[in-house]
Structure formats: structure tokens, C-alpha cells
Amino acid sequence: MKGFTLIETLVAVLLLSIAIAGPLTIAARGANAAQIAKDQIIAYYLAQDAVEFVRFERDSSCLPSTPCASTGTPPAWLAGVSGAPLTPCVSTDGSAACYIDSRTNQTGSCLGTPASCSSPIKYDGASGRGYYVSVPLKSPYTSCSGTSCITTTFLRSVKIVYSASTPTEALLTVTVSWTDAGSLSHSVVLTEDMFDWE
């Protein structure tokens, strides 16, 4: 009888350890999946933000008082309103890429210094005021600082590519990429064809 109980206990211990280890693994994977899901949603909103900004600049540069022109380098309709903020994003061969901080209307080339597209976007947790690029911001805006300034894992770059033979059309590509806790890379790429129709 005692021998049977020992075997029974061993079997029970084995079953219980499987019972504990299985769900724990599943829960860990599930938590990871939840984090990826959350990041993916943030990433696509970040991508949408940049697309909307470029469209806003395009639309604003083609108001009736200042008609669009598809001439120039880059074409005027692609450069954006005063100061031609989209110029660093535009190229004919896809070599130019830029960062965009839509809240402060600030743009700049990814290729310059600091190479902002390779440093992650920051988030101001104190004000909940959206995302900042990791570059010194134009006055009167200031980059967030202190413990409430959260450095996210998201990188974002914007490319606008047009063909010199058809300067009335341009392909906008916004890439948001990030690395999850398991060091796996993810990205959300939004593309849109824009036309000089205004």
C-alpha cells in the first residue's frame, strides 16, 4: 500500500508541475502578445500622425491664394507651407528621409546631426501631451525632461519620393519600427500616393 502511495505521489507531483509550468508559459507568451498588440496600435497611430501632417502641409501649400506649382526642386506643392518644412523628406530616389514632430510643426533631415530618426521618440508622461522627437525643439517648445519623460522604443521616419518626369505625383512612406521585449523587430509601414490635384 505504501509503495503505491509513493508512486501515486510522484505522479501527482509530475502532473502538478506540468499543470503549473504550462499555464505559466502560456501566460508569459500571452503577456508578450498583449504588449506587441499595444505597441502595434501605438505604432499605427504614430504612422497616421505623420501621414496626416504631410497631407496637412500639402493641402495648406495649395490654398487659392497660393496656388500649387509642380515645378521646382522639390516641387512646390510637396515642400509645404512657409519655410518649406517637407523639403528634407523629399527626393527622387528615396535617399532623403526626415523626422516630423507634428505638435510643434518641426521637421528635419534624418541624415543630419543629430540623426534623430535612429533615436527613439519621447513621450511626455507629465502632460500627456503626445510624442516628441528626440531633437532640441524650436522655441517656445521644450523637450520633456525628468522622470516623466519616457523614452519609447519607437523610431519613425518619413520619405516622400517623386519622379522628375511626373512631379505631380509623389509616394509618401511612413515607417514606424520598434523592438519588443524579446528583441524582435516590428514595423508598421504606411504608404500613400499623393497628387497635385489642388
Partner 1 sequence: MSKRGFTAFFAVLVASLALAVGLAIYDLLSRELALSQVATQSQYAIFAADTGAECALYWDNKYTGATAPSVFGTSSTAAWGASPINCNGIDITTKGPPAVDWSSYTDPTLYNCPSSPGSAWCIASSANAATTTFSMTMTSGSQTVCATVVVAKVGNPAQTIVTSHGYNTCSAGGVRIERALQVNY
Binding residues (CB under 8 A) for partner 1: these are: 1, 4-5, 8-9, 11-13, 15-16, 18-20, 22-24, 26-27, 29-31, 33-34, 36-38, 40-41, 43-44, 47-48, 51, 163, 166, 168-169, 171, 187-198
Overall residue count recorded for the chain in this entry: 198
Tell me the closest approach of the beta carbon of residue 92 to partner 1, in angstroms: 13
Do 57 and 81 touch, CB atoms closer than 8 A? Answer: yes
Residue 43 or 135: the one with the smaller Cβ distance to partner 1 is 43
- 59 Cβ contact partners less than 8 Å away, ≥ 6 residues apart: 198
Q: Which three cell numbers stand for residue 172?
A: 509618401
Q: How near is the Cβ of 88 to partner 1 at its closest, in Å? A: 22
Nearer to partner 1, 40 or 143 (CB): 40
Euclidean distance between the first and the last CA atom of the chain, given in angstroms as a whole number = 91
The DSSP secondary structure of 123-154, one letter per residue, reads EETTTT--EE-SSPPPTT-----STTEEE-S-
CB of 12 to partner 1, least distance (A): 4
Choose between 59 and 149: whose C-beta lies nearer to partner 1: 59
Q: Which is nearer to partner 1, 31 or 184 (CB)?
A: 31
